[in-house]
Amino acid sequence: MTIKKQPGAQLISSSNSLPNPHPIEFPIVGIGASAGGIQALMRLLQGMPADGGMAFVVVLHISPNYASHVDEVLQRSVTMPVVQVFDTTPIEKNTVYLISPANDLWLSEGCLRVTPSDQSRRRPVAIDLFFRSLADAHRARAISIILSGMGSDGAMGIARIKEQNGINSCRTRWMRNTMTHDHRNRT
Q: What's residue 185's pLDDT?
A: 37
| 10-residue stretch averages of pLDDT, the chain, 187 residues long | 46 44 83 90 95 96 81 94 96 96 93 91 87 95 88 90 93 51 38
Q: Which amino acid is at 45?
A: L
Q: What's residue 96's pLDDT?
A: 98
Q: What's residue 124's pLDDT?
A: 82
- The strand order across the sheet containing 111-116 reads 89-90, 111-116, 103-108
What are the extents of the domains in the chain? 28-186
Phi–psi pair at 111, nearest 5 degrees: -130, 150
CA distance 163 to 37: 26
* pTM for this entry: 0.79
**DSSP assigned state of 87:** S
CA distance 74 to 54: 17
Number of other residues whose CB lies within 10 A of the CB of residue 149: 21
CA distance 57 to 92: 11
Cβ neighbours of residue 103 closer than 8 Å, sequence gap 6 or more: 85, 86, 114, 115, 116, 117, 126
The CATH number of the structural domain formed by 28-186 is 3.40.50.180
Residues serving a catalytic function are 34, 61, 153
CA distance 35 to 144: 17
